[in-house]
């Protein structure tokens, strides 16, 4: 068997954004296809590894190794940091790189800026879930959306919802930071939405006034515990994973992206498992709904809690790489691998 060492390229954030701009529908379709590949067992997605710091308990860096089969055929790892204190300093909370490895030789062939890839796959996953989990609702798609947490992820989720055919009569906003809420409202106004915009003073007010609720915070533990706030049976995209107390999930229909991954690291679903000693509160995964193995009831709140799978980062990252390569714009680092002769 003959094999060649692939050239090594660096793909900066501007190229990543350029490759993804205006392709929201295709990215959602790619994410859906990757979820199905994962459900079929044609991926490898080991547990994420959390690097934590005793002197900085709010900070962490996470390694997400993964492998995607099918037509994607790529291995790799995302290395993403979350330093909430960055926000006060005027820089984004999260930063990341994605390494792509060649399927045949194992050689890394790209290092990519990945905070945009991470936000993109998160938003595409949320948009896919919002679509699939609202299809069986007699009232159709929710017309009132509320965002709790108004950072980069919230902006990307709104962008992906709007780009995949969602329109809203009302958009609610709530954030502990008045400046962040105001900034997100400004983004919404510039987006050209015709929806009525409301900045809510409390999470309760927003939840009660929304049929679709998006949690995109940096909460470390649950702070929403009143089940009555959800009496109107909204669809909840629990992107930040730790906002809802166990009693809220126990009163809801629950779906995740991957059971084993989501029920760890003290996520809200993990807290339910610890409390009850069971996983019976889960209806299944989004892929179960997509394939008809699970049917979403109408008479309860529906909560989608996606842990965020490395296979999604790889699929989106490989699509970006292919787009940049096809345009002949790869920044190749010559002689990146210099020791290529076994005996010198």
Give 256's strand partners.
285, 305
Q: Single out the residue of 230, 235, 330 nearest to residue 11, CA to CA.
A: 330
Picking from 128, 212, 204, the residue whose alpha carbon sits closest to that of residue 167 is 212
Cα separation, 315 vs 211, whole angstroms = 31
From first to last of its 344 residues, what are the pLDDT tens digits of the chain? 567 889 999 999 999 999 999 999 999 999 999 999 999 999 999 999 999 999 999 999 999 999 999 999 999 999 999 998 998 898 988 899 999 999 999 999 999 999 999 999 999 999 999 999 999 887 788 999 999 999 999 999 999 999 999 999 999 999 999 999 999 999 999 999 999 999 999 999 999 999 999 999 989 899 999 999 999 999 999 999 999 999 999 999 999 999 999 999 899 999 999 999 999 999 999 999 999 999 999 889 999 999 999 999 999 999 999 999 999 999 999 989 887 777 66
Which residues make Cβ contacts (< 8 Å) with residue 343, sequence separation at least 6? none
pLDDT score, position 215: 98
Beta carbons of 261 and 309 less than 8 angstroms apart:
yes
CA 176 → CA 119, 200, 322, distances in Å? 21, 10, 40
H/E stretch holding 109: strand 108-113
Distance in angstroms (rounded) separating the CA atoms of residues 202 and 326: 48
- Identical fold for domains 9-117+310-332 and 122-305, yes or no, is no
Give the model's pLDDT for residue 93.
87
Distances (CA, A) of 123 to 20, 153, 183, 190, 272: 12, 7, 19, 19, 25
Neighbours of 157 (CB within 10 A): 25
pTM of structure: 0.94
Q: How far is CA 243 from CA 55, 93, 117, 268, in A?
A: 24, 18, 24, 7
CA within 13 Å, CB half, 6: 18
Q: How is the chain split into domains, by residue range?
A: 9-117+310-332, 122-305
How far apart (Å, rounded) are the C-alpha atoms in residues 311 and 172? 32
Provide the pLDDT for residue 342: 72
Distances (CA, A) of 193 to 48, 186, 188: 37, 11, 6
CATH of 122-305 among 3.50.50.60, 3.40.50.720, 1.10.1740.10, 3.90.700.10: 3.40.50.720
First-to-last CA distance in the chain? 21
Range 9-117+310-332 has CATH code 3.30.1780.10: yes
Burial of 194: CB neighbours in 10 Å, binned 0-12, 13-18, 19+:
exposed
Q: What is the pLDDT of residue 341?
A: 75
Q: Is 305 helix (H, G, I), strand (E, B) or coil?
A: strand
């Amino acid at each position: 068997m003959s094999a060649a060492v692939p050239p090594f390229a660096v793909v900066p954030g501007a190229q990543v954004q350029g490759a993804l701009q205006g392709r929201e529908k295709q990215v959602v379709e790619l994410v859906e296809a990757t979820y199905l590949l994962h459900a079929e067992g044609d991926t490898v997605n080991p547990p994420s590894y959390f690097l934590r710091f005793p002197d900085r308990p709010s900070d962490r860096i996470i390694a997400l190794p993964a492998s995607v089969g099918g037509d994607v055929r790529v291995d790799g790892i995302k290395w993403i940091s979350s330093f909430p204190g960055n926000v006060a300093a005027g820089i984004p909370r999260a930063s990341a790189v994605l390494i792509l490895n060649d399927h045949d030789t194992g050689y890394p062939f790209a290092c990519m800026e990945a905070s945009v890839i991470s936000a993109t796959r998160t938003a595409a996953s949320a948009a896919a879930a919002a679509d699939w989990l609202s299809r069986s609702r007699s009232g159709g798609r929710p017309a009132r959306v509320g965002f709790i947490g108004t950072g980069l992820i919230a902006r990307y989720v709104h962008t992906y919802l709007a780009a995949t055919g969602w329109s809203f009569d009302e958009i609610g906003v709530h954030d502990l930071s008045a400046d962040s809420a105001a900034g997100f409202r400004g983004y919404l106004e510039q987006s050209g939405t015709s929806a009525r915009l409301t900045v809510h003073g409390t999470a309760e007010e927003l939840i009660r006034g929304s049929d679709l609720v998006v949690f995109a915070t940096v909460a470390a533990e649950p702070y929403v515990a009143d089940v009555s706030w959800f009496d109107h049976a909204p669809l909840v995209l629990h992107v930040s994973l730790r906002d809802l107390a166990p009693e809220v999930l126990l009163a809801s229909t629950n779906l995740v992206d991957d059971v084993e991954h989501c029920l760890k690291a003290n996520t809200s679903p993990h807290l339910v498992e610890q409390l009850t000693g069971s996983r019976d509160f889960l209806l299944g995964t989004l892929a179960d709904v997509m394939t008809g193995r699970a049917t979403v009831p109408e008479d309860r709140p529906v909560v989608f809690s996606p842990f965020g799978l490395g296979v999604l980062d790889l699929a989106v990252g490989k699509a970006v790489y292919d787009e940049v390569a096809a345009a002949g714009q790869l920044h190749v680092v010559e002689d990146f691998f210099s020791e290529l002769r076994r005996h010198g």
